[in-house]
Amino acid sequence: MARIAVIGAGMGALAAAARLATGGHRVAVYERSATHGGGVGQYAREGFAFDTGPGLLRLPAVYRDLFVKTGKETLEQSIELVQVDPASRHLFADGTDVSLPNASRSGVTAALDAAFGAGAGERWSELLTRAREVWEATRRPLLEDALPPGAVPLGRDPYPARRGLFRRGEPTLASVAIRELRDPRLAALLESYALEYGYDPRRAPAAATVLPYIEQTFGTWYVRGGMRALADAVYGRCVARGVEFHFGAEAVRITEKNGRAAGAELADGRVAEADAVVAGVDPWQLNALLPGPPDTSWAPAPGPGMPGRLTLCLALCGARPAGTAHRTLVHPAERHGGEPTVTVLRPDDPALRPDESHEAVTVTATAAWHEVEGGADETAERLLRAAEAAVPGLRERILWREVRTPADTERETGAPGGAVPGPVLAGSGGAFRRPANRTPFPGLYLVGGWAHPGGGLAHAGMSGAITADLISGGPGGSR
């Protein structure tokens, strides 16, 4: 079978490596850093541990499929999955406090009616019914199949906006939010699903309504021990299938033979020969490793403002109160007033704290590098003020805090500007899609959040499945 060189050890790259090795290929992974997992990291200190990447998992079926296809042990035999309930708690500046149950359409409707008044739940439910049409129209091209030539299914927004509301152009998520939901708080709730991935609701297409649809239909899950445990499990599956790992091995050039990718030259001068190369890095960075000038036709230059995450790791004295929500979103007073929507994660997980008299809390918000560079402490203070609404007496409980900025993400993962790519969205002429997994350079493939179908744990796993299938001679499908 073929020799496969994989550049990077992010989640998409690991998923592809495990599948390819199971198919009989000889797979070697070359990672510039000292560990695996890419953005799925964990910060540990004095008995506390904090996820520094995604804190929750959606569409766990993607990883269930990976484990079924690559070994005997199932996903649930490898990690402990916990369904989070409530899925989220939302706090608003006017004092509104609403918790949304996990994967319960009727429960969400009732909760919204109770919090925002009769009819709010029905308006939300009607919007998700239209979002289901987005899911059905885009599920295969967005998630399960290789990007088709021309990407026609992704260029036009399939969201069926209510007649008469939008007369010119495609609606944005923000316009749908206020016109169809009518309550600014409900609108903020909808927009928070896009903001989580760094998308500006005023520019994101209405098709972004698929994000709350996915969460509220298929549920939200947590991995005991933190999300890093999922990365460890996938890495372990790769090792069990015979994948070779080389850490501290930075690729500086893609080698070529007879017009095809033939391996990777490493920073120490070694050359990893291969019949195909899988790259889990930003396409523009990868483009620079190829012969000739960078080609913007398939790997566009990085645009301004793809944000990363600002994260506060808070070590607290005092036990986590019973009944505390795992995830709380604190919404600013103005939807587009410049203050961030802040997420507070308080997992009930003994593995993340020294003992029952302490608590590990993670506070996050999306932020572009320029928003925090030179002012990380000031920005962190803004997050801390918001988090006080979710954690009463927060400041008095803080033993210590660690501030992590997009600069830390860039240093650890190589992502330009510490950016965290979001999932592919339909609409806007294809502006929210990623480059195809098969590149114009024969033998070179893309995988992970920078490639189709975009960022997020589930999407990275699907990307690995699509790429592995393409290399193995298939049409490129994650089913």
Among the ranges 281-290, 296-305, 352-361, which has the highest mean pLDDT value? 352-361
Same domain, 185 and 277: no
CB 170 within 8 A of CB 206: yes
> For residue range 344-370, what is the model confidence (pLDDT) as tens digits?
999 999 999 999 999 999 999 987 655
Residue 54, domain member (yes or no)? no
Q: Residue 280 has what pLDDT? A: 95
Spatial distance between the Cα atoms of 460 and 133, rounded to a whole number of angstroms = 23
Residue 392 has pLDDT above 90, yes or no: yes
- 287 and 430 fall within a common domain: yes
pLDDT of residue 258: 93
pLDDT for the residue numbered 63? 97
Peptide bond into 300 cis (omega under 30): no
Domain boundary among 218, 243, 265: 218
Is residue 279 situated within a structural domain? yes
φ and ψ at residue 19, rounded to 5 degrees: -70, -40
Distance CA 362, CA 344 (A): 6
248 and 315 in a single domain? The answer is no
Instruction: Name the H helices within 143-294.
Output: 152-155, 173-181, 184-195, 210-218, 228-240, 283-287
Of 200, 218, 236, which residue is a domain's last? 218
What pLDDT band is residue 303 in, cutting at 50, 70 and 90? low
Percent of the chain topping pLDDT 90: 77
| DSSP code of residue 443 | T
Taking only the tens place, the pLDDT of each residue in 49-107 is 999 999 999 999 999 999 999 999 999 999 999 999 999 999 999 999 999 999 999 99
**DSSP, residue by residue, 277-302:** EEE-S-HHHHHTTSSSS--TTTSPPP
The least confident of 153-157, 206-210, 345-349, 459-463 is 153-157
The CATH number assigned to the domain holding 458 equals 3.50.50.60
- My answer on whether omega of the bond before 153 falls inside 30° of 0, hence cis, is no
Note whether residue 386 is domain-resident. yes
CA pair distance 76, 244, nearest whole angstrom: 25
In a domain, 174, yes or no: yes
Residues 284 and 260 in one domain: yes
Tell me, yes or no, whether 425 lies in a domain: yes
Pair 128, 197 in one domain: yes
Specify whether 427 is located in the same domain as 296.
yes
- Residues 299 and 313 reside in one and the same domain: no
Residues 6+ apart with CB under 8 A from 385: none
Does 257 lie in the same domain as 170? no
Residues 125 and 179 in one domain: yes
How far apart are alpha carbons 353 and 316 in whole angstroms?
Answer: 9
pLDDT at 305 over 70: no
pLDDT at 306: 72
Q: Which helix (H) or strand (E) holds 445?
A: strand 444-446
Residues 245 and 287 occupy one common structural domain = yes
What does the block give as tokens for 5? 């060189």
Confidence (pLDDT) at 339: 84
- 332 assigned to some structural domain: yes
Specify if 277 maps to a domain: yes
% of the chain residues with pLDDT over 70: 94
Beta bridge partners of 271: 265
pLDDT at residue 449, as a whole number:
93
284 band by pLDDT with thresholds 50, 70 and 90: confident
Structural domain tally of the chain? 3
Q: What is the pLDDT of residue 301?
A: 67
Pick the more confident residue, 149 or 350.
Answer: 350
pLDDT of residue 147: 86
163, 193, 218 — which closes off a domain? 218
Residue 100 lies in a domain: no
Predicted pLDDT of residue 151: 57
Question: Are residues 294 and 328 both part of a single domain?
Answer: no
DSSP letters along 215-232, please?
HHHH-EEEETT-THHHHH
Are residues 354 and 440 located together in one domain of the fold? no
Sign of the CA dihedral with 11 first, then 15, 21, and 25 last: negative
φ, ψ at 27 (rounded to 5°): -115, 130
Per-residue model confidence as pLDDT tens digits over 201-251: 999 999 999 999 999 999 999 999 999 999 999 999 999 999 999 999 999
pLDDT of residue 478: 61
- Domain limits for position 16: 3-40+60-70+227-303+421-471
pLDDT band at 399 (very low <50, low <70, confident <90, very high): very high
Q: What is the mean pLDDT of the chain?
A: 92
Lowest mean pLDDT among 40-44, 115-119, 159-163, 414-418: 159-163
